[in-house]
Amino acid sequence: MSNSDLPSQGKPVRWFYKEDGENVGPIDEPEFLELITSGQLSRSTRVWSRELGPVWRRVYEVERLMTLLQEADEAAKAEAESNRPPRQVAPSLAWLMAFSPIISALFALLLGAIIPAAADDFRIYLLPAYFLMAYPVLSACFHRIDSKALKAIYEDSVKFGLPLFIIFPPAYFIARKRLAANQHLLLPLLSVAMYPTPFFIYWMAF
């Protein structure tokens, strides 16, 4: 390494590194940083520049290099984050929620089959009671899971979501669409169609 290889005052910083006992360089600083960030040089490689004086040091011992590498890492992470597709709530839960009336009605029928009634005629009155118990509980469970998922992605959830979902599901899905853009447009209409299905199920059962 001759003095002519060393950077003079006012010129860009240039670097040398050791490879198999040989001095390699000079290399302009941006190219040298690329060698390190790409993994071609490890951070334990011995390096030298005029700014270090007569001493060769390892990359991790040079504060300037570590600062520049940290900035490069942060820039790479920021670029990767900006290029990452936006996170979205999986639509499968919303579809399942739309079928809450049917699921609750079937669960009520199951309870009616398991729990004996004092008389067959009395079952007609028990099944609606089972439904009125099952539907709010199932809706509350679905809403809790959905609310957590929405908050995890969008840091928000549907205002007054639980009573809205229990009393009038289409309104819930319309409000939910404002947060979850990937929600299917047909979900409010589907929830309207599902709302009277328990009555048809009970009519067919009796």
pLDDT digits over 133-162, tens only?
999 999 999 999 999 988 888 888 888 989
User: Which amino acid is present at 35?
Assistant: L
- Backbone phi and psi for residue 143, each to the nearest 5 degrees, phi listed first: -65, -40
Domain 3-83: state its class: alpha beta
The SS3 assignment for 194 reads: helix
pLDDT digits over 78-108, tens only?
666 665 555 677 788 899 999 999 999 988 8
Task: Report the C-alpha gap between 105 and 68 in whole angstroms.
Answer: 64
pTM score, two decimals? 0.55
∠ at Cα 6 (46, 29), nearest 5°? 60
> If pLDDT is split at 50, 70 and 90, which confidence band does 198 have?
confident
Mean pLDDT over 61-81 rounds to 71
Residues of the chain with CATH 3.30.1490: 3-83
**Residue 7 predicted with pLDDT over 50:** no
Asked whether the beta carbons of 35 and 41 are under 8 A apart, the reply is: yes
> If pLDDT is split at 50, 70 and 90, which confidence band does 11 have?
low
Mean pLDDT across the chain, nearest whole number? 79
Exposure b/e, 129-154, CB count within 10 A at least 16 = b: ebbeebbbebbeebbeebbebbeeeb
